[in-house]
Structures are given as structure tokens and as C-alpha cells.
Structure 1
């Protein structure tokens, strides 16, 4: 094999390439005429290695994480690799079942920084040494040409949308999701600002802002907040009645009344997209101070983005509702034994107090007036006890008429005072309770603390009920 001829054929064509993609494809095609191998060029595009050109394989990876596989290892280290037996390399990413050897070299810019890799894989016996040298020389020439043409190709808007959709799907909270959706709208549309307006039982509201909103976004949110709920509702209604809309970039035409607050914020270009269903959804506003004319493709991408955002938001809300139902007592709405166990597991010795609460004479209420009356009593009592607690105190229903409050105190006497406040709140409902108090001690298990609180509660029951008793220290 005349390797100088291989290098010459590639080098002659490279200056004629007008784009980085052409330069990569011509390099691969020229190499393929001489090397019976699977050949590919991967360049860094945003946060991944993207396959820009390839030949010699039925299947190639479209993108590869920066450190995955032999290609990722070479890119991350900037050092080429010659692998005589790919089966022995744990990083090998299989593409063809018959591949035995691989040569991967970094594509460097003129400063010596990796911008991608040139990868060759063989299934037939080959002398790897000369091909490694040839690959390195071609990769250097290719890197210089790519840089001269402006660098690796930019991420397309559809690729951006796909990346942002994955980020929205991974969001764990409404705030994370809305922040991701707004950032995605700005990035994909290339406009300066984006705002989500969401409907709800209490009326429309502005969605969470991004962490670093620009000046236009600040003004936009301020004007929308000033416009108030009715104006936000009209924007949502208009979008859901008539669909997405956008400005044409023509000067001298006033906005409709609904969009006047946006004009006051300095908006001259606007894309409006409905989000979710009309009754519970909202609207996505994407805007800019420049006088532009968004193309219909931009609007379509914003509609896709809005659809994905709503799907993710609806999923998060559904999961939150299911979690609340799973962790809450359906009668009183208080959390029950599962969350209670998690809470007392974090008890702080000397600070965390458990207040075991039992409703006095509850069985007689059920026996005399029926279970519905008993349920009403529990609901009213739970609400009264919850209102009597301080901010940060927690109340759990752990049995039929049994409750436990978990509170943080500075001294045991403070826990007793909280117990007395609960007893007084119960009396105001026409019912009495017995309360046993125990403060967590060093090296004491949460279960042992709860047993001491229960024992203090039984002491109250034996001595007349309607009182509070502090368990002695062990």
C-alpha cells in the first residue's frame, strides 16, 4: 500500500471542501478507496461526539458520550489508540460482528486541542503501524481544514430540541421543568426571552423564571404581573381558541389589547404557543426586542417543545398526587405510618420530641353514634390539632384514633407546653385527648423513644385522661 498516495489524494481534495461536513465526508470517501475498513469521523457537537461522516458499516452510532468507547477515550485524552484485538478492550463499542482491530486518532485543531476523532476498524488482517501513521497525518490535515471553515458543524435546532426534551424528561420538580422549558425555548428559537403562563384553580400565574433571566425577560414578567390575572387569562384563551401565532416583523403596526403589556416591555417579535388543554393548560410566550420575522419552522418547534413540556409537567403532577395519596391518610389528610417512620429515623437526641396522642372515649362515640360520626370527630380533631402546632411541627395519624406529633424543642418543658396546647385545642372541639411526651435520648432508637411516649400516654389514661405526661429519662 502506497500510504503517501493515500495522504496525497485526501490532501488534494480538502482545500475544495466548503463546509466541515464536506471535509469529513471527502476524507472518509478517499480513505475508503484504499482501506477495506469501517471508517468514521466524529466531531464534538455541544456535549457529545457526533458522527459527521462514515462508510464501510451497516450501522454507526449517531452520537457517543465524550468518554464512551475507544473513540471517547481517544478524544478525552488526545492520544491515539491502536487496538490489535478489540475483544480484549473493555471500551470497544461493537458495530460489526467481524471487526478485529481498530485504530482511532484525535482530530486536532492547529493548537493541538482535540475537536473530534478519526476512527478505522478492520475485519481482515492488516499491518496497523503504517495505517496509524497515515491516520494521524490525515487527522491533522482534516482538523486544520475544519478550523479554517469555522469549526465543527453547529448543533441543529432539531438536535437542540431533542437534547432539551431529554432534560425536561429528567426534571424532578415543576420548577426544574419550567426552568428547562424556558431555557429550551430561548435556545431553540434563538429569541431573547421566554415566559410560561400556566392556568390553575386559582387563576393563571407566571411559571418559574430561569435562574439568569435577561433584561427583556425581567421586564416581560414585570409587565405581565402588573397586567394581572384577567389579562393572562385572555392570552391563554386566545392561544387555545386560535392556535399558535407569530409576528411578521413589520414595523408600524400596533399590537392587540391582549398583547399591549408585551409591547410596553419592549417586545417587537413574539411567538405565542398554547400549552396543554384549554381548561388546565397555559401559553408559552417567546419574545425579542429585535424586529424579526420568525419562520414557520420555529413556530412548529415551539409547539413541539410546548407539547413535551406539558407532557412532563402533567407526569410530575400525577406522580405528586399518587405520592400524596400513598403517604396520606385518606380520612384526615395527615401523613401516616410510612412517612412517620422516615421522620423519626432522623430524630435528634435532646431536641426531637414525640407526642403520642389518643382520643378519649372514641370507642363509645363509634358504638353510640356510628362510624360516620366517629370519622367526623377524627377529621375535626385532626384539623384542630394541626392548627395548634407551630410552623415546622408535624402531625401523623398512626392508628384508628391514635396520632403522633413530632416536634423540635430546646428542653422537655417546651414539649409539655406544646402537648398542653394540643389538649386545649381538642377541648375546644368538645373532645378530650391524652398525651404522652418523650424526648429522644442519646443512643436511643426511635422505636424506644416512641415506646416511652406510649408508656407516658398510658399513665395519663390510668390517672383520669385529658392530660399531658412527660416520660422520665432512662
Structure 2
């Protein structure tokens, strides 16, 4: 008489409970977990269980029944009440013999489990057949999808991974076919990262919005934050406003737009479909929850990135300092990686004569000048008061000398001079020894009048 899989499970548990003095539960596979869909009273019932967790996960994974006469000796036991002594768990199989769930019974009294195993297996077989006839285990609800995707966004390691997870979640939870994220940036609004395999509509929307330019993106973003979430009613014959024309040209006929984060630095999530659909307000609410979670995760990642940058950078010049420098020279390639030890000539006199603020301004200006003289990929570190080190990749020692001379020229243009010592690591040489040889070459420049370059002896 059951009209749904849930009813079939609930009636099975209720009927079995009349005869079996046990705590009974049925768990069915929903997406990537086992969800408890029916159970008798217990202090704790696990809502969902990972596929291989506990005795139920073991039975589901193997498709074989399990009898545990003493749960205290089983490392996989998931406790639901303190007086349980034994557990019987059998798989619920579809007619093809594939596990779709488990029937679990836990006893607190001494009982012979053999006869109960036969009964439980017959019930599980009939239940599996009936569930299959009714269309299989229940589908994952939208709230369950949202929870699963929220966990994925929380664990995303980078902005790119997070935006990809948010777009995937928006499509899955809304059941619409395309999702696009627009985020504010220092150079204007921009499209967020695409998923690895965007659908045709999503690809067309991204192309239209890219062609429309940052002005169009900015209007969409401003509208969402000014007016709040909005959605279409899926009715034909109603033209879009100018802001949404790029979406209409791409083929979107249904749209949900929700703001993301704060107005001055957030964005907007657009979820669309080619079909004329009528999103209900619950769908919009779920997209708002998703957008809120996405922004919280993105803000956390950006905060962590700023903290990492501050921890690894010199607060005065913004250059990386000794920690990252040690890691970089540890990876130096013998004969190819050159270390350029740099010292500002007469810096102490500047501090003594004009004060430390003037010295700080000198260091900041000089750091910018030296950065500008280096090539793309070269790295500059501040490792002491007026001591810098550049790490560069070269084909020959002479190339390192030319780059060092460019640095001295850049320093002269700021009104100061520098002394530069150069060393290339020998095979098997420690980074510390290479830097010491570069320092020795630098001091040789100092002894011979400063404002020059010297290559350490090979």
C-alpha cells in the first residue's frame, strides 16, 4: 500500500518493532551518504552516515550482513544508546542485487540473532523490491544539496576553487542550467572563475557579458545591491530591462539574481535557464543563502591571504623578507641561480643626519627603483636594515653582472648609490655559503670606493 519509498520504510520499521525488542533503523543511499529515513525511538539517531562509516557503512559497502554479538569489541560501532550489546545489520538490495541501503537492529537484551537474521534478510529483500518499484531511494532534497555544497565551499583552498564550487552549487540547487558570478574588483567588476565544463547557455552568457564590458557588469552589480534579489516569472512577451539585455541576447529566458557580499566590494550571482520557468520564492531564498555562504568563505580566504602576505613581507617596503628568502635560496639551481647582495651606500649617515623617517623614505623609494630594474620573474628581498638580496636566474655569470649594473644605475637615478656582490651557487654548496660569498664580494666593492659591482670568485 505504500505510495513512496519513505512510507515503505516507515511501515516496515513500525511493523517489525511490534515483534522485535530492538532499536530499528533503515538507512538509504542519498547522493554520497546513507540517510536515516525511518527509525524507532533512541537517544540518538544518525541523520546521515558516510558510506563506509560504522557497521552500517561496512554492510552497505560489502553487501554482506553483519552480526555483532558484542558491540564494545567492534571498532566500527556507532553508539546510539548506552545499553546496546548486540547489532544485526543486513543490506537492502534492489532486484539486481545492488545495495541501496541497510536495515539495522540493535539489542540491549541477550537474544539469539540467527533467527532474526533470516527474518531481517527476507524483510530487506521485499523492501528493496518495493523501493525499486516506487522509483528508488528518495532524491536528495534541495536543503540537503545546499548543505553539501556549503561544506564544499568551506573547504575550498583558493578563490578559484571557491567560485567554481559556488557556481556548481547554484546550478544544482536551483535546477537551472547556467550560473555566473560577477565580483567587484580594484579595476572594476569582473566575471568570476568559470566551471571546468560550462554548458552552452553559460558560455554564451559569459561571452555576452565580456563583450558588454565592465560598465554593463557594474550596472548589474549595482542593481542587485540597490534593489535586492529579483527573479523572472517565466512569462513570454515581456522584454527585459536594458541591464539584462546581454543575458537575453545569450538566450536566457529565466533568471534569478541575488546580491553577494557588501555593496562596495561584493558582487552578484546570476542563475539562468533557456526554458521559460517560474522560480518559486524558496528557490530565491536558497540562492540568497548560497550567496551568503559563498561570500563568507571568499572573505575568509582573502583575509588569510592578507595575513600570509603580511607575515612574509617587510611592512616598510612590501618586499618579501628572510622567511621566504630562505625557502627560495634553498631551491637555488647550481650555476643558474645568482644571488645579488645589495647594500645602500652611506645609509647610516642619512639616518644620523636627517632622522629615521627620511631613512625609511629612502628605503621605500630605492626598493621601488630596484624592483623596476629587475626582469619579470626576478625576486627582490629585504633581509636587514639597508640590506637587500635579488635572486635571479641566468645562463652565464656575465648576465648576472649586467643585471647588477642595471640596479646600480637605477639607484643613481634616485640620488643614491649601492654596492652589489654577486655569487652563483656551486654544486653541493649550502645557500648560506653562497650568500656569504656574495656578501664578501659586496664588501670588496665597499673597500674599493662603493657604487659598483663585483662577481665572487668561482
When the two structures are superposed, what TM-score results if normalisation uses the length of structure 2?
0.97
Partner residue in 2 for 1:430: 415
For the residues of structure 1 that align with 2:7 and 2:99, how far apart are their CA atoms?
Answer: 19
Partner residue in 1 for 2:439: 454
**Corresponding residue to 1:120 among 96, 105, 115:** 105
- 2:193 matched to 1:208? yes
SS at match of 1:210: coil
SS at match of 1:119: strand
- 2:304 matched to 1:319? yes
Partner residue in 2 for 1:9: none
Partner residue in 2 for 1:441: 426
Q: What's the offset of the Cα at 1:443?
A: 2.1
Q: What's the offset of the Cα at 1:102?
A: 0.9
For the residues of structure 2 that align with 1:37 and 1:351, how far apart are their CA atoms?
Answer: 73
For the residues of structure 1 that align with 2:194 and 2:413, how far apart are their CA atoms?
Answer: 44
For the residues of structure 2 that align with 1:346 and 1:34, how far apart are their CA atoms?
Answer: 71
Aligned residues: 458
1:323-362 to 2 correspondences below 5 Å: 323-362=308-347
Partner residue in 1 for 2:373: 388
Q: What's the offset of the Cα at 1:312?
A: 1.0
Q: What's the offset of the Cα at 1:116?
A: 1.3
Contact 1:37 1:56 (8 Å CA) reproduced: no
Contact 1:354 1:406 (8 Å CA) reproduced: yes
- 2:265 matched to 1:274? no
For the residues of structure 2 that align with 1:35 and 1:454, how far apart are their CA atoms?
Answer: 83
Q: What's the offset of the Cα at 1:433?
A: 1.1
For the residues of structure 1 that align with 2:333 and 2:353, how far apart are their CA atoms?
Answer: 42
Q: What's the offset of the Cα at 1:472?
A: 2.5
Partner residue in 1 for 2:36: 51
Partner residue in 2 for 1:78: 63
* 1:248-277 CA-partner distances (Å, limit 9, x unpaired): 111111111111111111111011111111
Partner residue in 2 for 1:12: none
1:251-262 to 2 correspondences below 5 Å: 251-262=236-247
For the residues of structure 1 that align with 2:156 and 2:369, how far apart are their CA atoms?
Answer: 37
SS at match of 1:98: coil
For the residues of structure 1 that align with 2:396 and 2:96, how far apart are their CA atoms?
Answer: 67
1:92-241 to 2 correspondences below 5 Å: 92-241=77-226
Q: What's the offset of the Cα at 1:110?
A: 1.3
Q: What's the offset of the Cα at 1:320?
A: 1.4
Contact 1:199 1:205 (8 Å CA) reproduced: yes
For the residues of structure 1 that align with 2:64 and 2:370, how far apart are their CA atoms?
Answer: 68
TM-align CA RMSD: 1.3
SS at match of 2:213: helix
**Corresponding residue to 2:388 among 381, 388, 403:** 403
> For structure 2, which runs of at least 5 residues remain unmatched after alignment?
none
For the residues of structure 2 that align with 1:437 and 1:296, how far apart are their CA atoms?
Answer: 67
SS at match of 1:400: coil
- 2:349 matched to 1:364? yes
* 1:80-137 CA-partner distances (Å, limit 9, x unpaired): 2111111111111111111111111111111111111111111110101111222222
Q: What's the offset of the Cα at 1:452?
A: 1.8
Q: What's the offset of the Cα at 1:213?
A: 0.5
* 1:268-319 CA-partner distances (Å, limit 9, x unpaired): 1011111111111111111000001100100110111111111111111111
Larger mean Cα displacement after TM superposition, 337-346 or 62-71 = 337-346
For the residues of structure 2 that align with 1:93 and 1:412, how far apart are their CA atoms?
Answer: 66
For the residues of structure 2 that align with 1:168 and 1:155, how far apart are their CA atoms?
Answer: 18
- 2:363 matched to 1:378? yes
Q: What's the offset of the Cα at 1:412?
A: 2.6
Q: What's the offset of the Cα at 1:350?
A: 2.6
For the residues of structure 2 that align with 1:353 and 1:469, how far apart are their CA atoms?
Answer: 13
For the residues of structure 1 that align with 2:391 and 2:122, how far apart are their CA atoms?
Answer: 70
Contact 1:32 1:56 (8 Å CA) reproduced: no
For the residues of structure 2 that align with 1:351 and 1:121, how far apart are their CA atoms?
Answer: 68
Q: What's the offset of the Cα at 1:362?
A: 0.7
**Corresponding residue to 1:466 among 432, 451, 457:** 451
Larger mean Cα displacement after TM superposition, 394-403 or 193-202 = 193-202
For the residues of structure 2 that align with 1:150 and 1:169, how far apart are their CA atoms?
Answer: 33
